[in-house]
Structure 1
């Protein structure tokens, strides 16, 4: 028999995803209200806010397509979020770190999914640079996805070494 109380406690981490979504969407709304498209403002050395729109996936993959990819990427994201929610729900309680990392990915994915469905593109604005070299412009949702993914990989590597 499934202990529903145990599964409920695993899903309580979803609050983290909700907070990420709120921060991500709020930051993107602020950028759209305060910057013109392709406008840049210096925040500190090595960091600008640069308002751009990403019509594709990570690193503008598929951005040159004529629109069909919007729904493909949205569908893939929706499926990924459902799979990760099930993983969080079914994970053992001693695997709370993986659940946190999955939740970071879920929150980031849903933040970008909101943009893709509501706007038709993802709003990116964080621009790290050194001299003339600029890293790909990204957003808070992208950061959550990357941090969650990297931590999952590192945890897997560490567990395998033990």
Structure 2
């Protein structure tokens, strides 16, 4: 993304803040208005709101670890990785726009979940999709941001690999 440095930093910060904001606002609404394990069908039985507190990572991985180890593995390490990714986004001027946007979505989603772990000791998950044979675990908007970000990075990777190499 080739723009002046100040504008580039503003765009990065804006994208990250929008992702964190959407995540935190949605979780705040859920925390205030939905009881734990309440089952609310939004689109028939295909999109369901169910509030759970996840002390682990993806699909509750690591949730049963002793608290000090869990704090290091699920809060401190991700926070350091996110700081490194944010630095990379700020200082690597050669990133393509789609790569930078994907990275900002991942960083924003990661910050949203790490913030929850630090503030609440768990991450609030509340969305569940069930479409015939396709069914997700319970997730949140930070997870959506992370998945969109990875999708953009994968798309960029595959588009790049399709370009014939010149000899």
Partner of 1:135: 136
Bigger mean CA offset, 138-147 vs 77-86: 77-86
User: Over the residues paired in the alignment, what is the CA RMSD in angstroms?
Assistant: 1.8
Q: Distance in 2 between the 1:10 and 1:77 partners?
A: 24
Q: Distance in 1 between the 2:53 and 2:76 partners?
A: 20
Which ranges in structure 2 are unaligned for 5 or more consecutive residues?
none
Give 1:37 shift: 0.8
**TM-score (norm. length: structure 1):** 0.89
CA 122–94 in structure 1, closer or farther in 2 if over 3 Å, else same: closer
Q: Distance in 2 between the 1:98 and 1:131 partners?
A: 33
Give 1:128 shift: 0.4
**TM-score (norm. length: structure 2):** 0.87
CA 132–146 in structure 1, closer or farther in 2 if over 3 Å, else same: closer
- Contact kept, 8 Å, 1:7 with 1:90, in 2: the verdict is no
Which ranges in structure 1 are unaligned for 5 or more consecutive residues?
none
Q: Distance in 2 between the 1:34 and 1:24 partners?
A: 16
Partner of 1:103: 104
CA 95–76 in structure 1, closer or farther in 2 if over 3 Å, else same: same
CA 8–52 in structure 1, closer or farther in 2 if over 3 Å, else same: same
Runs of 4+ in 1 over 4 A off after TM superposition: none
Q: Distance in 1 between the 2:99 and 2:134 partners?
A: 34
Q: Distance in 1 between the 2:31 and 2:133 partners?
A: 25
The within-5 A match list for 1:2-151 is 6-12=4-10, 13-45=12-44, 46-67=46-67, 68-92=69-93, 95-131=96-132, 134-151=135-152
Q: Distance in 2 between the 1:39 and 1:66 partners?
A: 28
Give 1:49 shift: 0.6
Aligned residues: 158
